[in-house]
Amino acid sequence: MEPEFWHERWSQQQTHFHQPDGHPMLNKWWPTLELGTDAHVLVPLCGKTPDMRTLAERGHRVTGIELSPIAAQDFFIEQHLAVDSDEIGGFDRYRAECGAGTIEILVGDFFTADTETLVAFQAFYDRAALIALPQTMRARYVEHLYTLLTKDAPGLLITLDYDQSQMNGPPFAVDTAEVNTLFEHCGEVASLENGSRLGGQDMLAQRGVKSADEYVFRITATD
């Protein structure tokens, strides 16, 4: 999937994939990662999810990586945060204090990020990154994600599963078997919760999906 696809989506406000409300499963399951308050958390392909604010208000140092400058700028405007900007490692960086923590969004290509210019992150939160990518890119995504983490970094992953023939992604369907295959060399994969995603106003239903399930996984590094 080419960068131009996402730039066009954001410039034309075709952002049905964006969910303006924080995810209820984040607060429910994030504590099971047992992180220190000031842990440095990576949110790949972050868009403008308000979940970054939720994490920062827990005291975490949150770094999102996002291709679209529109998404990054909109996030800070919508969250009413005073933002500073600079550059780091080829990325435009937007940064703000938030609650007991901080939020920064690096604007650029996730696949060019590296720990020579960025810190190694102590955890990750993926609500919409893996399911934003077609199947041909997912293994590459997971491989690169783990080059940006400390060796013991846990993560919380949320995916969708539905009949892919009913809708062209994104978001794409990623079932439990694929999650296990993608992350089997990264650590222990624990399925924490699953349930129906569709509701009366759900964007998936509006796009023709008859049923969909949402899954929450905890990925824990093993020795």
Distance from C-alpha of 59 to C-alpha of 138, rounded to nearest angstrom: 30
* Tens of pLDDT, residue by residue, the chain (223 residues): 565 654 465 555 655 554 667 788 999 999 999 999 999 999 999 999 999 999 999 999 999 999 999 999 999 999 999 999 999 999 999 999 999 999 999 999 999 999 998 999 999 999 999 999 999 999 999 999 999 999 999 999 999 999 999 988 889 999 999 999 999 999 999 999 998 875 544 778 888 899 899 999 999 998 6
Domain span including residue 59: 3-220
Could you tell me the CATH number of the domain that includes residue 43? 3.40.50.150
Amino acid, single-letter form, for residue 17: F
The SS3 of residue 129 is coil
Instruction: Give pLDDT, residue 16.
Output: 55
Distance from C-alpha of 174 to C-alpha of 131, rounded to nearest angstrom: 6
Instruction: Give pLDDT, residue 1.
Output: 53
Cα angle vertex 182, ends 25, 194, to 5°? 25
Instruction: Give pLDDT, residue 198.
Output: 59
Instruction: Give pLDDT, residue 196.
Output: 84
The SS3 of residue 215 is strand
85's CB contacts (< 8 A; 6+ apart) are: 92, 93, 94, 95
**123-126 β-sheet, strand order:** 84-88, 91-98, 101-107, 61-66, 40-44, 123-126, 155-162, 212-220, 188-196
Distance from C-alpha of 197 to C-alpha of 160, rounded to nearest angstrom: 8
* 190 beta partners: 218
- Domain tally for the chain? 1
pTM over cut 0.75: yes
Instruction: Give pLDDT, residue 7.
Output: 47
The SS3 of residue 46 is coil
Instruction: Give pLDDT, residue 45.
Output: 95
